[in-house]
Structure 1
Amino acid sequence: MGRISDLPNELICHIGSFLSAKEAALTMVLSKRWRNLFTIIQKLHFDDDDDEGSGSFDVFVDGVLALPVSSRVKEFSLRLKNAHYDCINSCLCNVLKRGVLVLNLCIQVADQGGYSLPLEVFNCKTVAKMSLEHGFVIDLLPVDAFLPALKTLFLDNVRFYDFGGRCAFKTLLAASPVLEELCIYGIELERWKWSCSVSSPTLQCLTIKRRQWTHYNEDNGLDTRGLAYDFDSISLDLPGLTYLEYSDYVPKEYIIVNLSSLVEAKLHLCVDEDRTWDNRDANDFNPMNLINGFKNVQILDVSHEVMEMLYVFQEVIPLFEKLVHITVSFSNCWFSLPVLIEKSPNLNTLVINNFLHYPRQGDRLVCQCVSDYSFLLSCPVKILEITKYRGTRGELEQMKHFLEKLLCLERVVVHAWVRGEAKMKLEADFQMLPKASSKCKIEYY
């Protein structure tokens, strides 16, 4: 202990950051100097997968409660599978009074009703980053809910409800006046009871990501017939948003879409199995407000389902004048590519994020939908990237059209899915292809 006391204050503080709550409390009793140095605890962490023996969480809680009143905690992390809620809440409320900046909670519960957070969580004046995972049900926020420092919010498998006419999700956003990043994972919006509106004037980054592509019904559980109740519309009123990653089923309509500052978007949007993109008249399906919301986007990454949507609505989709970089995927047909190319007059980089050609059908080497490739002649693309290239005859035929017709092409990046002699043959085949642009260089990976 004497040797440690001789160390500089900064190093002692660093050592103290690795102590558990109980160890920190005992250490501060031993030394007046350490008591002053350990008033700021860098991180308190408990994970019941790492701690063995019954009562280990109770010991952790006792250590937290034993900390001096003057102690501050920068980061608090709690991962639990089973524990008494009263014990969790007493520990959590104690930490919230200690100026916590980062709050990570992962509490899995068997109870279908979920675990309700203490209302003090939504009145913490210091927390800047909050992560809530697994099993939380948020149905009620205090009337005076206020999170003035919260900039980043991660929600994983969290459900919101409308309690007494007050939408908990809407209240949470309104109580976070400086929120910049919102991530919603394991999303099942159709199970929420909410205002169907994501609205924030300060939000810059939004991730909505679905993991399980199944549908739920509140009465019957899994429902394979279609989306459940209260999923007819969504509004996205986010004037400051610059980044959007959106992976989910889409509702019938987007009532309000305000994405005027959007720079980059990554989209994987599907209709449920009772609908298709081209039967919109029968189902009153209209995603046009959403499509128009991307008219200012500069970087776009879209799944093959979104490409199909753009093709179906090609007559009314806007001109993407600011779009310079696009990543596209296809299922087995390229019919939607000309539509997007022609709507992107300033496109610089085109990334094809799958195989360049699928196994031939009959005598066809290329997709008949784009067999003349005339749309490429006016395409300004300078960089072409293929993420999966096997060197088949069909792929080589596709590449021949790209190289012959892209007049501005300067760089081709090929990620080969073959090695050894097969890759050497692939490179040799490329060298034989004619190029419309004398500046074109090919890179292999």
Structure 2
Amino acid sequence: MGSISDHQASVEDRISELPDTILCHVLSFLETVHAVRTTVLSTRWNNLWTKVPNLHFDYYPSFSPKYEDEDADVCRNHFMTFVDRVLFFRDSSKIQNFTLSCFEESDFTRIDGWLCTATRRNVVKLDFGLHNICKYDRRVTFSFPQSLFKCKTLEVLKLSSNCTTYYPPTSGCFPSLKFLHITLHNSHDTSAGQLISCCPLLEGLTIDGHVGTRGDSVDVHFNISASKLKTLTISLSAYPTSPYNVLINAPNLKSINLSHNTVAYYSFENVSSLVNANIVLEACQEKERSTVFANRVIALMGAISNVKHLSLSGECAEGCCHQYFLPEYFLPEELVLQDCCFWDVLPAVLQISHNLQHLVLEDSTEFRSRFPEHQWYPPECVPVCLFRLKTISIRRFQGRHVEMAVAKYLLKNCKVLSKMAIYAGHGITEEKKLHQVFAMFERGSTTCEVEIIEA
């Protein structure tokens, strides 16, 4: 049996022996309050937190009725004092990531000082959230610091606030910013949109949240003009009385993702480099699933008809194939049709998809509950794309009659198809029986393989 000293030697603190750079890297994954608490471990950890490259501060008010107003004030003051002390005692090294989220009424002067300190410490990534809860006057606003607009090291900026205004200087804004994420909160203030036009090196842009409020009529315009922009994501919801217009001028745009933009009007200029598009549009009301909605969809699809990889929601595909507005062609090599309860639009989509080589059909239980499942009517003549189609995937396959009919038609008429992958949904018939059913279907391609995959 070994001695006590032998046992102590076998459990020596190897973590504390690691270099400062590695320990600081480990602490960077913690919220700052927890990183500071590591000082209780030993004297070795006393000053490590002052060198951590990431700072993360979160303050959320307590909504529990057991807290009195003065307790909330004490908690808020404690949080602000903590941030002050961390920034004061931290060493002078660069701040890589700075996350600051404040909910409830706050001291805007101190928040301004914190952000300015991050600027002086050459912050690279800033995630800033500031929200006043309903019991406070939302007309009181916080002005985004001018020093941040001029920050030469800032590359990533994420903003989420219902009480912040953004008024950039006339020149020299965001000289290094590459990625911008703006979250809107039912605000009529459109100053956040001004940020987009003053980022000369912007490569990635995300705009999400909500536009307008119920019963109000607000006309919002987003002018997205960025010569180096490569990826664009817009995921906004809005009331029918709050339409918004989006103008996109991005000659180097490669990928676009538009979702839930129910009342948006899109205009495109100079987007010939676009390769990938994911379009998920939904009509706000049943009456919108008509000429008005179709007009919006067709205007949008006409601008992106040359993309190689296209993903469409069911409602968008239906609007696109409106009998009065059928576009002349699509040129995607890969097409994903989401929420395929709109089976009746599939023939029209195939007829205009001249270059199609890969087809993905996705079913959706949610959409089948919202809309009655449409019938499948085989096209009168075989679409040209079926002579080029190489692979087909049907996801969330349930083995319903309409799904079987579609799969049977495609197997029969695709002349160079190499593979059909069936991703069987929950509760599907046994895989062996499904194989037997598909083995009986006529195939237009002698080299086609059918693969049943349990999802």
Indicate whether the TM-score tops 0.5. Answer: yes
- For 1:257 and 1:96, locate their aligned partners in 2 and report how far apart those are by CA, in whole Å: 35
2:138 to 95, 106, 112: 112
2:156 to 103, 124, 129: 129
Helix, strand or coil for the counterpart of 1:155?
A: strand
1:84: which partner in 2?
107
Instruction: Give unmatched runs, 5+ long, in structure 2.
Output: 1-12, 63-71
Is the aligned partner of 1:235 residue 2:243? no
Is the aligned partner of 1:329 residue 2:351? no
Contact 2:187-2:212 within 8 A present in 1 as well: no
1:276: which partner in 2?
288
Q: Which amino acid aligns with 2:235?
A: K
- For 1:284 and 1:311, locate their aligned partners in 2 and report how far apart those are by CA, in whole Å: 8
Helix, strand or coil for the counterpart of 1:312?
A: coil
- For 2:15 and 2:437, locate their aligned partners in 1 and report how far apart those are by CA, in whole Å: 67
Is the aligned partner of 1:350 residue 2:355? no
Q: Which moved more, 1:14-23 or 1:72-81?
A: 14-23
2:5: which partner in 1?
none
Contact 1:43-1:73 within 8 A present in 2 as well: yes
Helix, strand or coil for the counterpart of 1:267?
A: strand
2:22: which partner in 1?
11
Contact 2:55-2:98 within 8 A present in 1 as well: yes
Alignment of 1:36-435 (within 5 A): 41-48=52-59, 54=75, 55-67=77-89, 70-82=92-104, 83-110=106-133, 111-113=137-139, 115-116=141-142, 117-144=144-171, 146-158=173-185, 168-169=191-192, 171-188=194-211, 195-210=221-236, 212=237, 215=239, 226-228=240-242, 231=244, 233-249=245-261, 253-273=265-285, 276=288, 278-280=290-292, 285=295, 288-312=298-322, 317-321=327-331, 323-330=332-339, 332-354=341-363, 367=375, 369-370=377-378, 374-375=382-383, 378-418=386-426, 422-435=430-443
How far the C-alpha of 1:89 sits from its partner, in A, is 2.1
- For 2:426 and 2:167, locate their aligned partners in 1 and report how far apart those are by CA, in whole Å: 56
How far the C-alpha of 1:21 sits from its partner, in A, is 7.9
1:362: which partner in 2?
none
How far the C-alpha of 1:22 sits from its partner, in A, is 11
Q: Which amino acid aligns with 2:118?
A: V
1:219: which partner in 2?
none
- For 2:376 and 2:424, locate their aligned partners in 1 and report how far apart those are by CA, in whole Å: 25
- For 2:437 and 2:38, locate their aligned partners in 1 and report how far apart those are by CA, in whole Å: 72
1:223: which partner in 2?
none
How far the C-alpha of 1:67 sits from its partner, in A, is 3.1
Q: 1:3 to 1:279 in 2, by over 3 A?
A: closer
Helix, strand or coil for the counterpart of 1:309?
A: helix
Contact 2:229-2:250 within 8 A present in 1 as well: yes
Q: 1:97 to 1:366 in 2, by over 3 A?
A: closer
Q: Which amino acid aligns with 1:173?
A: I
Q: Which amino acid aligns with 1:423?
A: E
Helix, strand or coil for the counterpart of 2:432?
A: helix
Alignment length, in residue pairs?
A: 414
How far the C-alpha of 1:319 sits from its partner, in A, is 2.8
Q: 1:305 to 1:189 in 2, by over 3 A?
A: farther
Q: In the TM superposition, what whole-angstrom CA distance separates every residue of 1:131-163 from its partner, at most 9, and x where no partner exists?
A: 11242443533334611111111122357767x
Helix, strand or coil for the counterpart of 2:95?
A: strand
- For 2:234 and 2:282, locate their aligned partners in 1 and report how far apart those are by CA, in whole Å: 13
Q: Which amino acid aligns with 2:423?
A: H
How far the C-alpha of 1:306 sits from its partner, in A, is 1.2
Q: Which moved more, 1:188-197 or 1:244-253?
A: 188-197
Q: Which amino acid aligns with 1:273?
A: Q
Helix, strand or coil for the counterpart of 1:228?
A: coil
Q: Which amino acid aligns with 1:444?
A: I
Q: Which moved more, 1:267-276 or 1:380-389?
A: 267-276
Q: 1:91 to 1:192 in 2, by over 3 A?
A: farther
Q: Calculate percent identity across the aligned residue pairs.
A: 24
Q: 1:320 to 1:366 in 2, by over 3 A?
A: closer
Contact 2:262-2:283 within 8 A present in 1 as well: yes
How far the C-alpha of 1:178 sits from its partner, in A, is 0.5
Helix, strand or coil for the counterpart of 1:241?
A: coil
Q: 1:366 to 1:13 in 2, by over 3 A?
A: closer
- For 2:432 and 2:170, locate their aligned partners in 1 and report how far apart those are by CA, in whole Å: 68
Helix, strand or coil for the counterpart of 2:436?
A: helix
Contact 2:308-2:333 within 8 A present in 1 as well: yes
TM-align CA RMSD? 4.0
How far the C-alpha of 1:300 sits from its partner, in A, is 0.6
- For 1:388 and 1:4, locate their aligned partners in 2 and report how far apart those are by CA, in whole Å: 48
Q: 1:147 to 1:194 in 2, by over 3 A?
A: farther
How far the C-alpha of 1:405 sits from its partner, in A, is 1.1
Contact 2:182-2:192 within 8 A present in 1 as well: no
Q: In the TM superposition, what whole-angstrom CA distance separates every residue of 1:47-83 from its partner, at most 9, and x where no partner exists?
A: 2369998244124222234136733211111222233
